Amino acid sequence: MDRMDDKRGEDRLDALWAEYRQACPDPEPSANFIPQVWQRIESRRRATSSLRHWAEACVMAALTLTLLIAAFLIPRYQRQPVYQSTYADVLAEADTLDYTLVLTGGDTR
Amino acid sequence: MRAVAVLIEFELIERARSGDESAFNQVLQAYRKRILGTIARLIGKPEDVEDVGQEVFLRLYYSLDQLRTPEVFEPWLYRLTVNAAYDYLRRQRRRHESRMSDLSEQQVMMADASAGGKRSKEDDRHTRVREQVQSLLDKVSTEDRVLLMLKEVEGLSLKELEKIYKVNENALKVRLFRARQRVLKAYEAES
């Protein structure tokens, strides 16, 4: 009995789907439909393009800033070298006495 | 959509895919009515059909280059349509939850029309069927709603649904069976 009720319910549902299909025919698109699609495409394209321009401008600005900083800092470092002499020279200067002692075998008379 | 016929030549799709705008315009002209019909039945809100349809063709335009071969164009277009309908229905559901008391524009139009008494008996019957199906579908999930519409109303075969949903036939049969059971339950509770 339950199975028969189910079958009847399913048949009624199938009939309802068929009726719904008839009650909802494909609507006729308005005359503006295609122009509006193109408008949306264009507006998306403009938005994408302005975003790309903005990103390119940011990259260019960052690049210019990097170059400016480099142009400002590099000559300064070149004028003031960090090391005036080599490590060996510095050591030699600091330990001149010890060096002399070693050479003379400790006799400083 | 019952007779799922390819409306245009593959060569035209190929041209549209490579950026030919006049070819895309022809694709648009060929498919707009069919797509709008599917959307109308999926969402059940005549006033929003064109807006969702335009969104589908916009997405089509910007993703056409991702189409592997023109042979799969139709299931692919259907997928875009289904996704746009999903997005719309989810948005509507959220809006509906926050504004439960508002009548839809369609309901207002229907009330106005019936008050005017201008419609024929046939129109009245169609309106009743539309309302009945929409209220029935409002009781199930968006996923069930779309799947049932595609199968039962649009008349898509399991093979076509497989291409749209990218799942195998058995999984689809199970989903369809469950969705049908849920709608049947709601239908029996209603009648």
- Tell me the CATH number at B76: 1.10.1740.10
Residue positions counted in chain B: 191
Main-chain phi, psi angles of B140, to 5 degrees: -115, 175
Q: Which of B109, B183, B67 is nearest to A16 (CA)?
A: B183
Does a structural domain hold residue B118? no
Alpha helix (H) residue ranges in chain A: 2-23, 33-79, 87-94, 96-104
**pLDDT, tens digit, 9 for 90 and up, residues B161-172:** 998 888 899 999
pTM above 0.80, yes or no: no
**Is residue B110 situated within a structural domain?**
no
The structural domain count of chain B equals 1
Task: Tell whether B1 is covered by a domain.
Answer: yes
Q: What is the pLDDT of residues A31-89, one digit of tens each?
A: 999 999 999 999 998 888 888 889 999 999 999 999 999 998 888 777 766 667 778 88
In a domain, B20, yes or no: yes
Domain that holds residue B44: 1-102
Is B129 among the domain residues?
A: no
Nearest-Cα residue of chain B relative to residue A32: B50
Q: Does residue B98 lie in a domain region?
A: yes
Return the DSSP state at A32. Answer: T
Please tell me the predicted confidence (pLDDT) of residue A4.
66
Hey, are the CB atoms on B53 and A33 less than 8 Å from each other? Answer: yes
Residue A60, min C-alpha distance to chain B (Å): 28
Q: Specify the amino acid at residue A56.
A: E
Q: Which of B177, B181, B183 minimizes the C-alpha distance to B133?
A: B183
Does the distance separating the beta carbons of A21 and B184 come in below 8 Å?
no
- Inter-chain contact B40–A13, Cβ cutoff 8 Å? no
Residue B93 lies in a domain: yes
Contact B153 A14 (CB under 8 A): no
pLDDT 10s digits, B86-101: 999 988 877 766 555 5
State residue B1's pLDDT score: 45
Q: What is the pLDDT of residues B62-121, one digit of tens each?
A: 999 888 888 889 889 999 999 999 999 988 877 766 555 555 555 555 555 544 555 678
What type of residue is B48?
D
Question: How many angstroms separate the CA of residue B86 from the nearest CA in chain A?
Answer: 19
Read off the pLDDT of each residue in B39-63 and give the average, rounded to a whole number.
93
Residue B95 lies in a domain: yes
